[in-house]
Amino acid sequence: MLSFSEQACDCHVHVIGDRARYPMLPARPYTPPVADISALRRHLDRLALGRAVVIQPSVYGTDNQCLIDTLQAMPDSLRGVAVLDPDVRDADLEQLAAAGVTGIRINLESTGGKDPGQALQIVEHWAGKLAGSGWHIQLYAHHEVVEQVLQRLSSPSLPLVIDHFAMLPPQMPQEVLKKTRLYAMLAQGALYIKLSAAYRIGDPVQARQIAALAHTLLQANPERMLWASDWPHTNREPGKAPDAISQYRAIDPRALIQEQLSWLFTDALRRKVLVDNPARLYHFAA
DSSP one-letter string for 271-284: HIIIIIHHHHHHT-
**H or E element that contains 107:** strand 101-107
Amino acid residing at 109: E
What confidence score (pLDDT) does residue 241 get? Answer: 95
What confidence score (pLDDT) does residue 270 get? Answer: 97
CB–CB of 143/169 below 8 Å? yes
CA atoms of 115 and 212, how far apart (whole Å)? 29
Amino acid residing at 113: G
CA atoms of 25 and 91, how far apart (whole Å)? 23
Omega cis (within 30) before 232:
yes
CA atoms of 23 and 257, how far apart (whole Å)? 33
Q: How far apart are the first and last CA of the chain?
A: 9
What confidence score (pLDDT) does residue 111 get? Answer: 66
Q: Rounded to 5, what percent of the chain is helix, strand, coil? A: 45, 15, 40
What confidence score (pLDDT) does residue 115 get? Answer: 87
Residues 6+ apart with CB under 8 A from 117: none
**What pTM did the predictor assign?**
0.96
Q: What is the pLDDT along the chain (286 residues), one digit of tens a residue?
A: 789 999 999 999 999 999 999 999 999 999 999 999 999 999 999 999 999 999 999 999 999 999 999 999 999 999 999 999 999 999 999 999 999 999 999 999 766 668 889 999 999 999 999 999 999 999 999 999 999 999 999 877 899 999 999 999 999 999 999 999 999 999 999 999 999 999 999 998 899 999 999 999 999 999 999 999 999 999 999 999 999 999 999 999 999 999 999 999 999 999 999 999 999 999 998 7
Q: Give how far Cα 36 sits from Cα of 32, 71, 187, 189, Å.
A: 12, 12, 37, 35
CA atoms of 1 and 77, how far apart (whole Å)? 15
CA atoms of 99 and 163, how far apart (whole Å)? 23
Helix 207-220, helix 253-263: angle, nearest 10: 50
Residues 6+ apart with CB under 8 A from 84: 62, 64, 92, 93, 104, 126
